[in-house]
Amino acid sequence: MTTRYGLEIRAATGAEAPGLAELLSVAGHPVETRVLADRLDALHQWPGAALVALEWGPPSGLVVVHWYRTLGAEQPTAQITTLLVGPDERRRGIGRLLLKAASQAARVAGCDVLELAVAGEEPTLSAFCLATGFAETGSRFVRALRKKG
């Protein structure tokens, strides 16, 4: 848990689902509150962490980081799959604090590399990544494992 001037960063629980659902919806990723609460609870079953930034009201931000092993690396690799800060909360250092908390969780898990998956064209997130020490490396391909419909 990290605290700074009334801002707390801690593990996300199903109790934050209503505020996080709003945060995700504003970011263009709508999800039902009940479904999100179930997903947050399920994340605790896998290697990783979902961390929420809370101030005086609803959640200000969210970071989800997972770690996994590969044949090409001696230590596990950590990957941030979600990093969100509310539009009204940006430019206040919350994203950096979430990144710092996720990095610490990954280090404790034995990871020595941190990746941040940026979906599509998100220029502000790309600029944030570069400003916080990430290097741009290649592209990613995605494929569904089940037919839809």
Q: What is the model's pTM? A: 0.84
The domain in which residue 117 lies consists of: 2-131
What pLDDT, on a 0 to 100 scale, did the predictor assign at position 57? 75
Domain count, the chain: 1
pLDDT (tens digit, 9 = 90+) per residue, 58-106? 888 999 999 999 898 899 999 998 898 887 888 888 989 999 999 999 9
53 inside domain: yes
- Tell me what the mean pLDDT of segment 116-141 comes to: 76
149 inside domain: no
Q: Concatenate the DSSP letters of all residues of the chain into one string.
A: -EEETTEEEEE--GGGHHHHHHHHHHTT----HHHHHHHHHHHTTSSEEEEEEESSSS--EEEEEEEE--TT-SS-EEEEEEEEE-GGGTTSSHHHHHHHHHHHHHHHTT--EEEE---S--HHHHHHHHHTT-----------SS---
82 inside domain: yes
